[in-house]
Amino acid sequence: MKRKIAISAAFILTMIISGFAQNDVRFGFQVSPTVNWMSTNNNRINSSGTNLGLKLGMTGDIYFRENYAVSTGLGFWFNAGGTLLHEYGGIYWDPALLPPGIDTMPNMVKLKYGIQFVEIPIGLKMRTKEFGYNRYYIEPALTLGFKTQARGTATGNGLGEEVEKINIRNEVNPLNLSWGIGGGIERSISENTSLILGAAFQIGFADLTRNRGQAFVPNRTEPVREDSQGKVSGIILRAGIIF
């Protein structure tokens, strides 16, 4: 499955680049640490912790004017996600993932998500003219992410023990969509090579949680369907080199 996703993502990227083949194209690589978290539209399910992640991959700037480019790439986002605190107990993940004899989660349970994506960003890079050896840029972008794996940890009184690093692939939706904006500096170190340093803010707008669970709400005789929208966002400290 991972191989199929990577091949599909590479094909999409190749089609994008081939469409601009007549333009000036610069390729590069990024190694960018991230701080990311999850949030929902349910005020009874709140963000309760961040993940430290990492982005690795290839970048490409396709210039259609001297200081304007379509930016894209192909990379991995490791350990995206965060921790969600559920005020009400319920059935949020498949009970088969829990310790024997436990089929429901208690009140105030914390569910930590660690997700890996293959990502293809599409953005518009706008940079200044060169000042000395430096150019400054701003880059709004949309990013399409394909889930490749997901691990989870559940913590709470009543579970008996912390349920660590279990496979929650089936509890996370396969696609992630996000938008964001970044900026930084290009520092020329030779005629055709530049270092990239910057930061970006990435905000998810696709629901990543499967919503197949039930919550036990006080004063309700029957469980309530858990249909919140769980989204992942992050701050990226971008570091890379471009040729």
Two structure tokens written together for 158: 């009543």
pLDDT in tens, 208-235: 998 888 999 998 889 999 999 999 999 9
pLDDT in tens, 175-185: 999 999 999 99
Q: At 7, is the pLDDT very low, low, confident or very high (cuts 50, 70, 90)?
A: low
pLDDT in tens, 117-135: 999 999 999 999 999 999 9
Cα–Cα nearest to 116, from 38, 222, 2, 14: 2
Per-residue burial over 57-84, b if 16 or more Cβ lie within 10 Å, else e, is: bebbbbbeeeeebbbbbbbbbbbbbbbb
Count of domains observed in the chain: 1
Q: At 11, is the pLDDT very low, low, confident or very high (cuts 50, 70, 90)?
A: low
pLDDT tops 80 at residue 15: no
- Find the CATH number of the domain harbouring 23: 2.40.160.20
pLDDT tops 70 at residue 10: no
pLDDT tops 80 at residue 13: no
Domain of 78? 2-242
- 83 near 115, Cβ under 8 Å? no
**pTM to 2 decimal places:** 0.88
Tell me how far CA of residue 210 lies from CA of 1, 35, 218, in angstroms.
19, 23, 23
What pLDDT does 187 receive?
97
Q: If you search the block for the tokens 């949309």, which residue do you land on?
A: 142
What pLDDT does 14 receive?
54
- 12 near 120, Cβ under 8 Å? yes
